[in-house]
Structures are given as C-alpha cells and as structure tokens.
C-alpha cells in the first residue's frame, strides 16, 4: 500500500501468519537473508521488519539462533507435535526458551539400574538390558510445573552418559553425535488419568482433580535395540498435542495411540 513503509507491510504479513497458526509458538520465522530473498529488499529493511515483529510482542530474537514466535496463548498452553521424528530432536529446555518461558529443572532421582527395565508400548513388551541410567526430573516453565519426566537410558549403547551434561542439548543429539547411534524409530502411546491432590505420585500441587497426560515412549536404534524409554506425566491444562505424519515415513515415524 502506497505511503506505508515496506518493513511495516512485511512485519504485518509475518504477524498474520502467526495469528493464523501457520507459525506456531517456538517456530523460527524467516531470517534477514530469507526475507531479502523473498521480498527483494535491503538488509536494513529486513532487519527492521524482524525488529517490528519483536517490538509488537510476537517474537523474540535469540542471539546466534534466530527469531522465534512467542507463546501468546491466554492460558499459556504448550503445543507439542507427535508423529514427526524431527519433533523429538529438540530439547525440552530449548523449546521453552524459544516460546519465551524461563525453564527450570529439578532432579528427583539419578541412579543406575544394573538389572535394566521393561515396558509395554503399543501392546508390545520391550526389555532394556542393564545397566540403565534412570533420571527423574520435574520440568518447570516460569515456576509452573509442566512435566514430571522419567527417562531410562541404555548404558550399553551410551557408556558413561551419567557423567555428561544432559541439559545443554537434546538427548537425541547426544545419542547421534556423541555415541554415533543410528536412530531408526520412536514408538509412543498417549493416555490420561485424573490426578488427585492426595496422590503420592503427584508433584503438580493441584488443589482440584486434574487431568494428566501419560506419555510412554521408546527410541530404537539399528537392530531394533532400545536406547531410551520414557514414562512421563504432562499437565493436562497446560498441554495440547498435535499429531502429524507423512505416508512415506510411516515405517520410521512415531506410532500414536490416543
């Protein structure tokens, strides 16, 4: 439109995509170079476009990483994607930071199980031979507990993982980059239950009965051997789950029972 600066027009287009849901909280919006290519504009105009989106409160720039959509939902609910292997490659902490939250982790238990563990996922019984590293964490965002997470990691496939910093990057990245594991599949089941305030396993401090999502998952590497088992509780009034897949990737993607 005549008389309106180009950077304002571009910033409005980006904001419209956020409002429509095309860009979700935590998504990276186009970079300066991408905007320059998309709109044939100068780097100054591209920079001002991104700054305008940020000044309007729709996004936040993280130095060295890019500009990410902030979580502006009134109830601050989090949307997590099930059905894409890529969706599990980003760490829980990084996701929260990109959405504008301040994350905090409290470790309740970190121990080695010499005898291993077993679990049932998608009506299949899976066994992880010991030794296994068990880590139970409470995951907070802005001082609100969102997730009670327990993970079991194969120390046969990941020796000495118990001495690594497991919060600075995703476990998926550690499995692939540190231990050179070829991860071939993730299987998940998603259920729910009502947590009462009197439940001894309840750390959510809810005063009224609250729905909790229960996520069970297993990550497999070559040979069908299990690298990780997860058994976690998600706060039902703070989470929404989105399910996506591609037909050509069904064999190597996440199976979901809801």
- Going from the N-terminus, what domains does the chain have, and what CATH number goes with each? 6-69 (1.10.10.10), 78-252 (3.40.1410.10)
The enclosing H or E element of 186 equals: strand 183-195
Which phi and psi angles does 252 have, rounded to 5°?
-110, 10
Mean pLDDT for back-to-back runs of 10 residues, the chain (258 residues): 85 94 91 95 95 94 92 76 64 87 93 92 86 96 92 97 89 94 89 89 88 92 93 88 56 38
Distance in angstroms (rounded) separating the CA atoms of residues 24 and 20: 9
Instruction: Fill in the DSSP letter of residue 244.
Output: -
Distance in angstroms (rounded) separating the CA atoms of residues 233 and 195: 10
Beta bridge partners of 147: 139, 234
pLDDT in the model for residue 257: 34
pLDDT in the model for residue 83: 58
Q: What is the pTM of this model?
A: 0.77
Strands (DSSP E) found in 52-154 = 59-62, 66-69, 78-82, 103-113, 117-121, 124-128, 132-141, 144-154
3-class DSSP assignment, residue 183: strand
pLDDT in the model for residue 245: 56
């Amino acid at each position: 439109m005549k008389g309106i600066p180009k950077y304002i027009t571009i910033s409005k287009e980006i904001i419209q995509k956020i409002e429509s849901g095309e860009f979700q909280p935590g998504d990276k919006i186009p970079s300066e170079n991408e905007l320059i290519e998309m709109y044939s504009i100068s780097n100054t105009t591209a920079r001002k476009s991104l700054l305008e989106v940020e000044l309007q409160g729709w996004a936040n720039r993280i130095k060295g990483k890019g500009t990410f959509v902030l979580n502006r939902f009134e109830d601050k609910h989090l949307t997590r994607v099930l059905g894409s292997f890529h969706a599990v490659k980003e760490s829980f902490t990084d996701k929260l930071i990109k959405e504008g939250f301040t994350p905090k982790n409290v470790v309740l238990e970190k121990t080695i199980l010499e005898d291993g563990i077993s679990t049932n996922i998608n009506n299949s019984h899976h066994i992880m031979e010991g030794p296994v590293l068990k880590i139970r964490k409470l995951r907070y965002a802005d001082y609100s507990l969102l997730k009670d997470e327990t993970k079991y990691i194969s120390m046969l496939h990941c020796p000495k993982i118990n001495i690594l910093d497991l919060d600075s990057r995703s476990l998926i990245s550690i499995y692939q980059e540190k231990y050179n594991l070829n991860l071939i599949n993730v299987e998940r089941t998603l259920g729910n239950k009502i947590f009462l305030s009197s439940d001894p396993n309840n750390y959510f401090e809810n005063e009224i009965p609250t729905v909790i999502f229960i996520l069970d998952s297993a990550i497999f590497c070559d040979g069908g051997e299990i690298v990780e088992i997860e058994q976690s509780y998600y706060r039902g009034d703070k989470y929404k789950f989105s399910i996506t897949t591609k037909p050509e990737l069904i064999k190597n993607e996440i199976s979901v029972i809801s």
